[in-house]
Amino acid sequence: MTILIAGGGMTGATLAMAISHLTQGTLPVTLIESSEPGSRAHPGFDGRAIALSAGTCQQLADINLWQHIARCATPITDIHVSDRGHAGFVSLAASDYAIPALGQVVELFDVGQRLFAELKKAPGVTLRCPARVIQANRHEQQVEVTLDSGEQLSGKLLVAADGTRSALAASCGIQWQRDDYEQLAVIANVSTALPPSGPGI
């Protein structure tokens, strides 16, 4: 049985690592990604920073990934949540739960560098990068995909991890629904004179 994963962003790449680790390489995985690993042009591993919960960090540790990502992570030891114009607020501290951190902040580019370095060594994982799935044909016993190079691959399972508006999922007739919560978020990278001291606000 071979698993094909279309999309090597955070979801697809982590899934490939998890399968490799949990099956000790006995279940072949082919990861197909349109961007060159390590490229700053990779849309999934750019300069954005994300927060990972303590539970997520533990799951990454369970598949031997966190030890590599931890080198570029900043711990969140305290969280303060408030809403301007309202009286209520919430404060959380890692010390209240006897854990070292409530979560960690990582830059996606750094994570991508470490993730693909491990994928290149992962048993049972084959990388097809850069390559893109242009056609998928599903059959009763297997699925066949055609890459933009003309190469054809087959497997028992195809995972569409090619983004929120997955072209592959759409081509397979999988529908999605968008709900507008009428909320906006501003995302920015900020440089500080001093190292972060742990609070998340």
Mean pLDDT of 160-188: 86
Mean pLDDT of 169-189: 85
Cβ atoms within 10 Å, residue 168: 22
Mean pLDDT of 87-106: 92
How far apart (Å, rounded) are the C-alpha atoms in residues 21 and 124?
Answer: 9
What pLDDT, on the 0 to 100 scale, is given for residue 201? 57
Domain ranges, residue 184:
3-200
Q: Is the peptide bond before 37 cis (omega within 30 degrees of 0)?
A: no
Q: 98's torsion region: left (phi>0), alpha (psi -120 to 50) or beta?
A: left
Average pLDDT of the chain, as a whole number: 91
Domain containing 81 — which CATH number? 3.50.50.60
How far apart (Å, rounded) are the C-alpha atoms in residues 102 and 95?
Answer: 9
- For 101-136, write each residue's pLDDT tens digit: 999 999 999 999 999 999 999 999 999 999 999 999
Q: Tokens 């961007």 label which residue? A: 35
Contact by Cβ (8 Å): 131, 71: no
How many structural domains compose the chain? 1
Closest C-alpha to 120, from 33, 22, 183:
33
Q: pLDDT band for 48, please (50, 70, 90 cuts).
A: confident
Q: Say whether pLDDT at 172 is over 90.
A: no
